[in-house]
């Protein structure tokens, strides 16, 4: 399956400009049908705490754009959107669409970034979710989730073979980003896709460094601090063979994960 990581320099709180930029970047390359396209966290607005200004209903303009993009490219699609709950607090969501444009799931970020004030504006999610993506069972995550390995272990215990992390991860901690993506792949014997943004917003500089990591921790494709695409192919048979030949996941003491 082809993976396309779309690394764009997000225009602050300007959805139409970001929709256009995604289309421009994807037009530069061949996107194979039945592949996976991944966009960053809050790709349409940037990492904004202004929930009132940027939130949308489940079927709002950003969802409509993503639905159309998935259907036109015949691709699975993971991208960041923002909604608001009945409590008037935001939800930082990884939305997933099928190649037919169907909304498959909306994962709410389980670990809002407290040091950046996200906890003051956004409510934490409570469930690790999975979806079928070609031959893979995949699980989406958002940015700060990456620092919490227990979330990824739960996904692995649910059978996930592909872990997708969308982010607005700042440049001053870029080494952590790269190291943790490889660690999550190695410890869960899974492919990990990390898609971050480059450029800057009113508060932070961002390094890009979107990458695809195989179950052994090898980086298959990577882009540094410019806009562009990372494209590579992944194969579920690689995960299955490694888990069979080196069955570390079978040795997990599942008592630590009661209820999974």
Give the C-alpha separation, 41 to 171, whole Å.
15
Instruction: Give me the catalytic one of 6, 41, 56, 161.
Output: 41
3-state helix, strand, coil in the chain (%, to 5): 35, 30, 40
Q: Would you state the structure tokens that stand for residue 163, as one six-digit string?
A: 């872990």
Cite the DSSP H helix spans in the chain: 15-26, 51-54, 61-73, 149-157, 174-188, 236-245
Give the C-alpha separation, 185 to 193, whole Å.
9
- 41: annotated active-site residue: yes
The DSSP bridge partners found for residue 195 are 166
249, with CB counted inside 10 A (0-12, 13-18, 19+), is middle
Instruction: Give me the catalytic one of 109, 118, 133, 161.
Output: 109
CA distances from 144 to 124, 133, 169 (A): 11, 23, 8
Contact indicator for 7, 197 with CB cutoff of 8 Å: yes
Instruction: Give me the catalytic one of 5, 133, 143, 161.
Output: 143
Contact indicator for 130, 138 with CB cutoff of 8 Å: yes
Cite the DSSP H helix spans in 38-140: 51-54, 61-73
Q: What residues act catalytically?
A: 41, 109, 143
């Amino acid at each position: 399956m082809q993976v396309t990581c779309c690394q764009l320099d997000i225009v602050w709180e300007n959805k139409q400009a970001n929709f256009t930029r995604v289309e421009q970047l994807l037009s530069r390359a061949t996107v194979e049908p039945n592949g996976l396209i991944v966009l960053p966290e809050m790709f349409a607005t940037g990492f904004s705490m202004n929930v009132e200004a940027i939130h949308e209903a489940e079927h709002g303009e950003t969802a409509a754009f993503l639905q159309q993009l998935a259907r036109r490219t015949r691709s699975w699609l993971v991208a960041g959107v923002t909604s608001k709950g009945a409590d008037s607090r935001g939800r930082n969501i990884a939305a997933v669409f099928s190649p037919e444009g169907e909304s498959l799931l909306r994962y709410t970020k389980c670990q809002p970034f407290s040091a950046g004030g996200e906890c003051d504006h956004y409510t934490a999610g409570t469930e690790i979710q999975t979806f079928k993506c070609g031959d893979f069972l995949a699980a989406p995550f958002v940015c700060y989730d990456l620092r919490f390995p227990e979330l990824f272990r739960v996904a692995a215990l649910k059978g996930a073979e592909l872990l997708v992390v969308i982010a607005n991860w700042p440049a001053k901690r870029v080494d952590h980003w790269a190291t943790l993506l490889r660690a999550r792949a190695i410890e869960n014997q899974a492919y990990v896709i990390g898609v971050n943004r480059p450029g800057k917003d009113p508060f932070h500089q961002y390094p890009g460094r979107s990458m695809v990591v195989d179950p052994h921790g090898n980086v298959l494709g990577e882009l540094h601090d410019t806009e562009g695409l990372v494209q590579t192919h992944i194969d579920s048979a690689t995960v299955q063979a490694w888990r069979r030949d080196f069955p570390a996941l079978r040795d997990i003491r599942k008592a630590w994960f009661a209820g999974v």
